[in-house]
A and B are shown apart, each in its own frame.
Chain A
Amino acid sequence: MKPRIGTTLASTTDATTVVVVRWGDTDVEVTCGGAPMVDAKGPEAGTTHPADPDQQAGTQMGKRYADPDLGIELLCTKAGAGTLAAGGAPLPLKDAKPLPASD
Chain B
Amino acid sequence: MNLSVLLDMAAEGFGDRVVVGTRAEGLTAARVRELAAGGATLVAEAGADAVLYLAVNGPAFPVALFTAARAGVPLVPVNYRLGAAQLDHLVAQHPKALVIADAAQAAVAERAGLGFRTPAEFLRDAAAAAPAEEGFVDPDSAAVVIYTSGTTSAPKGVVLRHANLVSYVLGTVEFAAAEETEAAVMSVPPYHIAAVSNALTNLYAGRRVLVLEAFTPAGWVDLVRTEEVTNAMVVPTMLARIMDEPGLDRAVPSLRSLAYGGAAMPRRIVEQALAEWPHVGFVNAYGLTETSSTITVLGPDEHRAALSSSDEAVRARLSSAGRAVPGIEIEVRDEDGTPVPAGTAGRIWVRGEQVSTEYAGRGSSLDGAGWFDTRDQGRLDAEGYLFVEGRVDDTIIRGAENIAPAEIEDVLLAHPGVADAVVVGVPDEEWGQRIEAVVVARPGTDLDDTALDALRETVRATLRSSKTPDRITAWPEIPRTPTGKLLRRDVVAGLAPAEQIR
Contacts and interface: CB of A to CB of B under 8 A. Distances in A.
A99 B323 CA distance: 11
| Range of interface residues on A (Cβ < 8 Å) | 20 to 34
A72 interface: no
A103 B326 CA distance: 16
A101 B184 contact: yes
Contacts, number: 79
Interface in B216-262: 231, 233, 257, 259, 261
A5 B259 CA distance: 31
B1 A101 contact: no
Given A6-B2, A19-B5, A101 B201 contact: yes
B300 interface: yes
Interface string B186-219: 0000000010011001100101000000000000
Given A19-B5, A61-B13, A61-B175, A103 B325 contact: no
Given A62-B177, A100-B283, A77 B9 contact: yes
A100 B1 contact: no
A61 to B, nearest CB: 6
A6 B205 contact: no
Nearest to A62: B175
Interface stretch (B36-44, B95-103, B291-299): B291-299
Nearest to B172: A99
B174 interface: yes
A27 to B, nearest CB: 20
B175 A103 contact: no
B470 interface: no
A64 B327 CA distance: 15
Interface string B6-21: 0011001100000000
A21 B299 CA distance: 26
Contacts of B177: 62, 98
Which of A6, A61, A64, A100: most chain B CB closer than 10 A?
A100
Given A62-B175, A75-B170, A98-B177, A103 B297 contact: no
B139 interface: yes
A103 B259 contact: yes
Contacts of A99: 172-173, 297, 299, 325-326
Contacts of B293: 102-103
Interface string B263-286: 000000000000000000101010
B205 A101 contact: yes
B392 interface: no
B1 A103 contact: no
Contacts of B207: 101
Given A6-B2, A77-B9, A77-B13, A98 B174 contact: yes
Given A8-B12, A101-B205, 17 more contacts: A19-B9, A61-B176, A62-B175, A62-B176, A63-B174, A64-B170, A78-B12, A98-B174, A99-B173, A100-B300, A101-B173, A101-B202, A101-B283, A102-B233, A102-B283, A102-B285, A103-B198
Interface of A: 5-6, 8, 17, 19, 21, 61-64, 75, 77-78, 96, 98-103
7 contacts: A5-B1, A6-B5, A8-B8, A78-B12, A99-B173, A102-B259, A103-B285
Q: When A and B form their complex, which 8 residue pairs have the shortest distance between CB atoms, in order from nearest?
A: A102-B285, A62-B175, A6-B5, A6-B1, A102-B294, A103-B198, A62-B176, A103-B197
